[in-house]
Amino acid sequence: MAVTIRRLEESDEVEGFDCGDEPLNNYLRRHAWTNQQKVSIGVTYAAVDESARRTVLGYFTLATSSVPRDRFPNKYVRGLPPYDLPLILLARLAVDRRFSGKGLGHALISEALKITLRVADEVGCRCIITDAYPDKAGWYARYGFLPLECTAATSSQKMFLDVRTVRRALSSESSSAERK
């Protein structure tokens, strides 16, 4: 299976997508294209097989966001630059269950992180945030995402990954490639 990851296109087949989670299925079927093209609140990237280039096997959605500096607790503000904190939101990530266990999730998050680095290089961004289902938090933690503390039991867990950590991973890759 030769997988390509590219921006979602209008003619992509999304109706048959089933990751086992209805809100994630529904987002791809009903909202991803509209949110990308019409209201511009998120860009969805689809994983497709070279042999069936219209069938979406997995996807992720990215958007930018920021936290106004005045929302941070006073005791931390002093150490921060006088700007809002820019970040990237990994809003959705899902793999069709018929293709789970084939490394698609890894390929998707890999692409999402590479895009994050490109955005950070082009326009600046401090971290990537995702809102993970509690049972998926461990999967994100493998990639270095750290859980944010929350006040009460919620249906999702916000997680943080520093862009500098991602950049370090890239330079680790470069130095190991140079050694070869």
Partner 1 sequence: MPPAVKSKKAVALQAKVPTARKSKFQADLAPSEDSMVRILKTELQMTSNTDFLTDALALLRWAVSERKRGHHIISESSTGERKILLFPRLERVAPEVTLPHVDIRWTDKELESLVELASGQPTDPTDALIRAMRQ
| Shortest distance, position 115 Cβ to partner 1, whole Å | 6
d(CA 107, CA 157): 22
Chain positions contacting partner 1, by CB under 8 A? 40-43, 62-67, 71-73, 76-77, 79-80, 85, 88-89, 91, 106-107, 109-110, 113-115, 118-119, 122-123, 126-127, 129, 142-144, 146, 148-151, 158, 160, 162, 164-166, 168-170, 172-173
Helical H segments across the chain, by residue range: 22-26, 32-33, 74-77, 104-123, 137-142, 163-179
Instruction: Specify whether the CB–CB gap between 65 and 42 falls below 8 A.
Output: no
**Residue 148 beta carbon to partner 1: minimum distance, rounded to whole angstroms:** 4
Active site annotation includes 140: yes
Q: Burial code of 15-44, b = ≥16 C-beta within 10 A, e = fewer?
A: eebebeeeebbebbeebbbebbeeeeebbb
Kindly tell me which of 18 and 147 has the beta carbon lying closer to partner 1. Answer: 147
Instruction: Pick between residue 16 and residue 172 the one whose CB is nearest to partner 1.
Output: 172
Residue located via tokens 């209805």 = 22
**Catalytic-labelled residue, pool 27, 45, 59, 140:** 140
- Catalytic residue positions, numbered: 140
